[in-house]
Each structure stands twice: as C-alpha cells, then as structure tokens.
C-alpha cells in the first residue's frame, strides 16, 4: 500500500486557490483538492506580527507524487515563500485509497 498525504497551502485569493487546485489535479499530481475560505490567518512574517484573509487549499496525493506536487506548487504559487506542508493520511476507506492511487498514478 502506498503512503498517502494531505498537502496544504494558502493563497491570497479564491482565484489563486482554485488555479493551484485545478492545475495540480489536471496534472495528476493530486487526486483531488478542496478550497476552503476565506480563513483568517494570524502569523509572524519577516519579524512582524500579521493578520490576513487567505484561502486554504487541501490536496490529496501519494508520498511518491509529493516531490512533483511540491515543485509544481512552488513554481506557480503567487507568493515567493508560501506555506506548504503535508500530513499523513493514516487510514481511509479502501475505495477512497484505490481512487487516490489510480488518480495519481503515472500513465
């Protein structure tokens, strides 16, 4: 069984979030993605406290496809140094995980 990941990032606009989600899924780097927002982010950046409205993108992929997904997201993301993280999906229904495998397998 492959290792599965949920990858997250955030963008300044809904349009940017949908573009990242769509381009990742269309390329087969993620099986699916959700855009959530707007959300309020509270953070430190460049030594300063900040708050802002962002749109979160959650992408489902395999560990094997993560390096390519990361490279893709970093190359098309509107921010120079965006948040990009991955957490393991430790369990899921058999059909869901089969779909995830099939959707991200290299043709």
- What average pLDDT is seen over the chain? 95
pLDDT bucket at 1, cuts 50 / 70 / 90: very low
Q: What is the pLDDT of residues 4-43, one digit of tens each?
A: 999 999 999 999 999 999 999 999 999 999 999 999 999 9
Residue-range definition of the domain harbouring residue 52: 4-104
Q: Domain count for the chain, please give it.
A: 1
Q: What angle do CA 87, 5, 54 make, to 5 degrees?
A: 65
Q: What is the CATH number of the domain that holds 65?
A: 3.30.70.120
pTM, two decimal places: 0.92
d(CA 28, CA 40): 30
């Amino acid at each position: 069984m492959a290792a599965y990941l949920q990858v997250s990032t955030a963008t300044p606009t809904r349009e940017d979030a949908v573009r990242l989600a769509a381009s990742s899924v269309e390329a087969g780097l993620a099986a699916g993605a959700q855009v959530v927002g707007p959300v309020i982010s509270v953070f430190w950046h460049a030594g300063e406290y900040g708050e802002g409205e962002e749109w979160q993108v959650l992408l489902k992929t395999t560990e094997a496809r993560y390096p390519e997904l990361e490279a893709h997201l970093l190359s098309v993301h509107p921010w120079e140094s965006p948040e990009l993280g991955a957490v393991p999906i430790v369990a899921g229904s058999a059909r869901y995980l089969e779909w995830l495998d099939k959707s991200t397998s290299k043709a």
